[in-house]
Each structure stands twice: as structure tokens, then as C-alpha cells.
């Protein structure tokens, strides 16, 4: 039976895609187009799923109508990593909305398992990346499903740090040059936002260079 994967086109969910494929899972990828500033990530999600020849569904949900975050309101500046204001990038209840939408689509396709890629680095700023949140949401999805369904949310990397994810991805041969992380949505990546800073640190701590290009010089 197919297993659903919430795929952003970023480093963590792409590593999870390769991890699932290595286990022999039949993956059906789902991406969310929420009119994000870094919408370019969806192009890479499409490229990755095309490379692996797996099903890929993109669902639209325009969160720019709500705003409140630099990721959904282009009038707001993306904070630099040096500002220590990552919490400003939070999109309220984003993961709850994404998981609910993905689960709804999964049910129409006869799937009852959804894989996600939150990691420990996300816990401080993004409270909806913690396992207790997904436990609660998993229970709610089971209660609200159209049929009597034991719907499962799997978060295999939830106790991993990004450095662990990159280590696993390198071993699996993940094409990280085909992923996108930068919150500014730039290629080359800005190298200054929190997302870039965490990615750079994860590669540096593994003793390897990130294959992505950056606007700034990086001391690997």
C-alpha cells in the first residue's frame, strides 16, 4: 500500500523521501503551495519526484491572505540568523493545516499513513514540530475520518538534529543540490536567514561542503 509523504522540497523531507525509498516503501508525495515567499521549493519537489518517478500531488492553500509571517507576507523582512528572531518566521498553525490537508487527500487515495520530517532543531521556534502535537493530531484525524480508520502520522526524524539528517542523507546519496532551504527563496541561497544558517551548520558539522551555491562566502 502507498504511504503518503509531506514533501516541501527542502533538505529534511527530501532526506525522508530517500530514507523511505531505501526501506522499499511505495511513496506518494504531497506538497503544499501556500503562496510562500520561497515557493521555488515546489519546483524542486517536482523535480525530485520526477527523478524517482513517484506520484506527486500539490495542494493549494493561500496563507498570504492571513499573513503575519515573512514567509507569507512579502512586506515583512526575513530576519537574519544573527538577529535571533526565528520565531518571527512562524506561520500560525501551518503544520496543523498542512497535515490536515495532506491527510484529507491521503484518505481519498486509500492511504492511512502520512510521513513528516520535523527535527529537533525546529522545537524552539516551531512548537508544532514536537511529537506531542502530532500525537494529538493523529488522534483527532482518527476520530474525524470518514470511515473507521486508524490514521498514522510518522515522524522518524523527530528526535534527530539536522546534522544527523544530513549524515543519513549523505549515506543514502540524497541529491542535496536539488533541494531548497532559503527562506528568501533565492538561488543562489542568501546564506543569512535561519534556514540557511541551520543548513550550513549541518553540512559543516559533517565535514562536507553543501553542494548548493550561496550569495556569501562560506567557510567550510
The per-residue pLDDT for range 159-204, each reduced to its tens digit, is 999 999 999 999 999 999 999 999 999 999 999 999 999 999 999 9
pLDDT reported for residue 79: 87
pLDDT in tens, 104-122: 999 999 999 999 999 999 8
24 pLDDT more than 80: yes
Task: Please tell me the distance from the alpha carbon of residue 52 to that of residue 54, in angstroms, as a whole number.
Answer: 6
pLDDT in tens, 134-158: 999 999 998 888 777 789 999 999 9
DSSP type of residue 202: H
- All structural domains of the chain, each given as residue ranges with its CATH number in brackets, are 3-205 (3.40.50.620)
Pairing of strands 152-154, 113-115: parallel
Per-residue H/E/C for 86-149:
HHHHCCCCHHHHHHHHHHHHHHHCCCCEEECCCCHHHCCCCHHHCHHHHHHHHHHHHHHCCCCC
Residue pLDDT, tens place only, 53-65: 999 999 999 999 9
Query: Is 110 exposed, middle or buried (CB count within 10 Å of its CB: 0-12, 13-18, 19+)?
Result: exposed
The per-residue pLDDT for range 81-110, each reduced to its tens digit, is 877 677 788 888 999 999 999 999 999 999
Task: Give 28's pLDDT tier (boundaries 50, 70, 90).
Answer: very high
Nine-digit cell at 111? 492511504
Q: What is the pTM of this model?
A: 0.95
Amino acid at each position: 500500500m502507498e504511504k503518503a509523504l509531506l514533501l516541501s522540497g527542502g533538505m529534511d523531507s527530501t532526506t525522508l523521501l530517500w530514507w523511505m525509498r531505501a526501506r522499499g516503501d511505495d511513496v506518494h508525495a504531497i506538497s503544499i503551495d501556500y503562496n510562500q515567499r520561497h515557493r521555488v521549493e515546489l519546483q524542486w519537489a517536482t523535480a525530485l519526484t520526477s527523478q524517482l518517478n513517484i506520484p506527486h500531488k500539490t495542494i493549494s492553500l493561500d496563507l498570504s491572505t492571513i499573513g503575519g509571517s515573512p514567509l507569507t507576507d512579502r512586506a515583512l523582512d526575513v530576519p537574519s540568523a544573527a538577529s535571533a528572531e526565528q520565531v518571527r518566521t512562524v506561520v500560525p498553525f501551518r503544520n496543523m493545516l498542512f497535515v490536515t490537508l495532506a491527510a484529507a487527500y491521503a484518505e481519498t487515495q486509500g492511504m492511512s499513513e502520512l510521513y513528516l520530517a520535523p527535527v529537533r532543531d525546529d522545537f524552539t521556534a516551531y512548537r508544532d514540530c514536537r511529537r506531542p502535537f502530532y500525537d494529538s493530531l493523529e488522534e483527532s484525524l482518527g476520530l474525524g475520518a470518514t470511515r473507521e480508520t486508524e490514521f498514522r502520522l510518522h515522524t522518524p526524524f523527530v528526535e534527530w538534529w539536522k546534522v544527523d539528517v544530513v549524515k543519513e542523507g549523505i549515506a543514502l546519496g540524497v541529491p542535496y543540490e536539488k533541494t531548497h532551504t532559503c527562506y528568501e527563496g533565492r538561488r543562489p541561497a542568501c546564506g543569512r536567514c535561519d534556514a540557511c544558517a541551520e543548513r550550513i551548520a549541518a553540512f559543516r558539522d559533517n565535514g562536507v561542503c553543501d553542494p548548493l551555491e550561496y550569495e556569501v562566502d562560506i567557510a567550510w
